[in-house]
Amino acid sequence: MGQYVIALVVAMTLLTEAHSGILSAESEPWYASIRRFQDCTGHDAVLVKPDGSIEFPEDLKGLTVPFPYTREMAFTVLLNTCEFKVAVGSHAGPPLQVELLNVLWRQPDRVSLLQDLFGRGNLAGKLYALAGLHDLDRKR
């Protein structure tokens, strides 16, 4: 009889842990675990070298963004971007950040994720969040 009680206690413990893991995963939105890895202190979009030549440092150097874009990659890039780029009269198409904002804008939880981006993003990420939120509710 003692072994059945032990087995029942172990089973109940495992069930409780599994159930609490499910609840905690559901209570936290998918974007909450994405962290900012770049702060934009000292980032310049244009550098003028002593010889007068101009260099355009790469924003998010080394980060590859494969297509089709996922919502996780879109949020990661916009959370960490240091440059606010807009799509005005460009023959090459919209900048990557604008395409990624469109990915986030199409999510069912877009209001809360854009609010989170505004709260945690670099300055450029905050601007993208405001652009997305403005499209959703201009009065707000």
pTM as predicted:
0.72
pLDDT per position as a tens digit, 82-109: 999 877 765 677 889 999 999 999 999 9
**Exposed (0-12), middle (13-18) or buried (19+): which is 76, by Cβ within 10 Å?**
buried
Enumerate the domain spans of the chain. Answer: 34-136
CB 123 within 8 A of CB 36: no
Which phi and psi angles does 54 have, rounded to 5°? -115, 140
Collect the ranges in the chain with pLDDT lower than 50: 1-24
Strand ranges in the chain using DSSP code E only, listed in sequence order: 47-48, 54-55
Of the candidates 37, 118, 121, which has an alpha carbon nearest to the alpha carbon of residue 79? 121
